[in-house]
């Protein structure tokens, strides 16, 4: 039985195929070198590439412009601008205008009606001199300080006593010289100072000295640094005009 199977199996499956042959490695030889073409010449382009490039470029606008620009001229002493005159601060007196105005017109009246010598930028005389009499503050009643006066102005209370601004002549101003009806003029503006009397730091008596008249001079000699326009803006009555 076994011999029969041995004879039948090779005939059924056919002859056995031979195994794959062993692979071989083919070594390719490099091509012959060419002495005329080297890496150095291909990448760098030769020995001339080692030189730095020209800056600016030979035909650039920067090089053309620098060649066309002329050299600066050195001025001589006669061609230079003369120095300004030395300041004469030692000869100036604060608050006293000079003989000529600030616009360089000596002694000539201005087209705006400014008198000669009034164009100086020096401060007024009243702000450069100490007051002849030292101001004396008095004790105010409670609730009559500067903040209380500011709150009274903002409260909406009528402090003017007039319906509209008007032109006030000196004779009209003179009629308001009482404690309960006091007007005064400062820098051409007329104010109703009746409500401000108890708030005045110098006391009511001192402020009543200018009631019914122009108090600009006395105000300037006493405390010219105070902004009267802001202090009494809610009490403005009108503007002082001369008698017609």
- Return the pLDDT at 214: 93
- Return the pLDDT at 54: 73
- Return the pLDDT at 60: 74
- Return the pLDDT at 110: 47
Residue 153 exposed, middle or buried by CB count within 10 Å (0-12, 13-18, 19+):
middle
- Return the pLDDT at 69: 61
Q: 229 phi and psi, to 5 degrees?
A: -65, -35
Dump pLDDT digits (tens) for 122-164. Answer: 555 555 555 566 656 778 888 888 999 999 999 999 999 999 9
Nearest to 160 by CA among 103, 87, 234: 234
Q: 4 phi and psi, to 5 degrees?
A: -65, -40
- Return the pLDDT at 210: 93
User: Any alpha helices (H) in the chain, and if so which ranges?
Assistant: 2-13, 39-44, 61-68, 146-154, 170-174, 204-207, 216-223, 228-231
Instruction: Give kind and range of the element (H or E) at residue 237.
Output: strand 236-240
Torsion of CA 154, 159, 161, 163, to 10 degrees: -20
Q: In three state form, how does the secondary structure of 132-153 look?
A: CCCCCCCCCCCCCCHHHHHHHH
Residue 126 exposed, middle or buried by CB count within 10 Å (0-12, 13-18, 19+):
middle
- Return the pLDDT at 149: 93
Distance of CA 134 to the CA centre of its chain: 39
Domain-wise residue ranges, the chain: 160-240
- Predicted TM-score (pTM) of the model is 0.47
The first and second tokens of residue 127, run together, are 């702000």
Rounded Cα distance, 83 and 160, in Å: 58
The low-confidence residues of the chain, meaning pLDDT below 50, are: 42, 99-114, 117-119
- Return the pLDDT at 104: 45
The torsion region of residue 183 among left (phi > 0), alpha (psi -120 to 50) and beta comes to: beta
Helix (H, G, I), strand (E, B) or coil at 185: strand
Q: 183 phi and psi, to 5 degrees?
A: -115, 150
- Return the pLDDT at 4: 64
Neighbours of 210 (CB within 10 A): 21
CATH superfamily of 160-240: Cytochrome b5-like heme/steroid binding domain (3.10.120.10)
């Amino acid at each position: 039985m076994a011999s029969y199977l041995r004879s039948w199996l090779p005939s059924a499956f056919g002859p056995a195929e031979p195994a794959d042959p062993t692979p071989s490695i083919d070594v390719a030889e490099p091509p012959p070198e060419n002495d005329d073409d080297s890496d150095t010449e291909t990448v760098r382009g030769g020995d001339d590439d080692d030189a730095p490039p020209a800056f600016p470029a030979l035909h650039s606008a920067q090089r053309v412009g620098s060649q066309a620009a002329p050299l600066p001229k050195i001025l001589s002493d006669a061609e230079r601008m003369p120095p300004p005159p030395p300041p004469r601060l030692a000869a100036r007196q604060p608050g006293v205008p000079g003989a000529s105005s600030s616009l360089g017109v000596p002694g000539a009246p201005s087209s705006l009606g400014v008198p000669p010598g009034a164009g100086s930028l020096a401060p007024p005389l009243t702000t450069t001199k100490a007051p002849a009499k030292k101001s004396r503050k008095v004790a105010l009643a409670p609730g009559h300080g500067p903040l209380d006066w500011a709150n009274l102005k903002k409260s909406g209370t009528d402090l003017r006593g007039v319906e509209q601004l008007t032109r006030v002549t000196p004779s009209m101003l003179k009629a308001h010289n009482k404690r309960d009806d006091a007007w005064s003029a400062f820098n051409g503006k007329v104010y109703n100072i009746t409500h401000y009397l108890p708030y005045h730091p110098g006391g009511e008596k001192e402020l009543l000295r200018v009631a019914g008249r122009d108090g600009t001079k006395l105000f300037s000699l006493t405390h010219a640094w105070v902004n009267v326009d802001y202090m009494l803006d809610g009490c403005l009555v009108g503007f002082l005009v001369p008698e017609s």
